[in-house]
């Protein structure tokens, strides 16, 4: 890893909930540096958030 490149640390918790239509995954993503926490009800929503967050981080480091 090169020093000086943008970095972001995430803490991810995954768990299953049991619903009438079967088990479903839930996700909690914490960002320790800002104390933000986000809960997602689908893997797609989690991935969309991560892509947007990392794109923002990447573009702010090249400005």
- 1-23 pLDDT, tens digit per residue, is 556 677 889 999 999 999 999 99
Q: Which residue has the higher pLDDT, 58 or 54?
A: 54
- φ/ψ of 51, rounded to 5, equals -60, -45
User: If you write DSSP's letter for every residue of 1-63 in order, what string do you get?
Assistant: --TTS-----EEEEEEEEETTEEEEEEEEEETTTTEEEEESSHHHHHHHHHHHHHHHHHHHH-
The ranges assigned to domains in the chain are: 11-62
Q: Which two tokens stand for residue 25?
A: 């995954």
Mean pLDDT of the chain: 90
The pTM assigned to this predicted structure is 0.79
């Amino acid at each position: 890893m090169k020093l000086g490149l943008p970095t972001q640390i995430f803490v991810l918790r995954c768990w299953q909930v049991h619903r009438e239509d079967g088990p479903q995954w839930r996700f909690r993503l914490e960002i320790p540096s800002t104390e933000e926490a986000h809960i997602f009800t689908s893997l797609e929503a989690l991935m969309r958030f991560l892509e947007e967050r990392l794109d923002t981080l990447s573009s702010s480091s090249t400005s």
